[in-house]
Amino acid sequence: MALDSLSMTFQALADPTRRAILARLALGETSVSELAEPFEMSLPAVSKHLKVLEGAGLITRSRDAQWRPCKLEPTALKTVDDWLERYRRFWEERFDRLEDYLREIQAKDKADKPKKPSDKKRPRKK
């Protein structure tokens, strides 16, 4: 089954080393050997991670320069960010509707209930 691009991005992001590579690339274009240094990894191992990131559209690699620098592509991450924002909105939306519901039900209860004698004594507020 072919994975949609969002799933590929998620899979790419699910690995801590790949997230660290992206964090490094957020600071600027970098060669593969420079990327490999802090991770104490072999070049082929780093290249494998880069391939996954490239496949997910998270980075691009220049064909021009001989050292083929890696560059971050923020658009793919923005898509993930937007998608996750939906989860926050999931609760925001429900809270909004709950707020409306609670307001309506309380207004209705107030209108339905006959006034209690104690209500008269209470000083009016709000």
Partner 1 sequence: MSAAAAKTQTTASPDFVISRVFDAPRELVWKAMTEPERMKEWWGPKGFTVLAAKMDLRPGGSYHYGMAGPDGVQMWGKMAYREVEAPSRLVFINSFSDEAGGVTRHPMAPTWPLEMLSILTFEELPGGKTKFTVRWSPHNPTAEEQQTFDAGHASMTQGWGGTLDKLAAYLAPTKA
Closer of 32 and 80 to partner 1 (Cβ) = 80
User: Tell me, what DSSP letter sits at residue 113?
Assistant: S
- Tell me how far, at minimum, the Cβ of 123 lies from partner 1, in Å: 15
Closer of 67 and 83 to partner 1 (Cβ) = 83
The encoded tokens of residue 41 equal: 């990894």
Contacts of 46 by beta carbon, 8 Å cutoff, 6+ apart: 21, 32, 35, 36, 39
Closer of 66 and 109 to partner 1 (Cβ) = 109
Binding positions for partner 1, rule: CB under 8 A = 3-4, 6-7, 10-11, 13-16, 19-20, 22-23, 26-27, 72, 74, 77-78, 80-81, 83-85, 87-88, 91-103, 105-106
Name the CA radius of gyration of the chain, rounded.
Answer: 27
- Tell me how far, at minimum, the Cβ of 81 lies from partner 1, in Å: 4
Locate the DSSP E strands across the chain. Answer: 59-61, 70-72
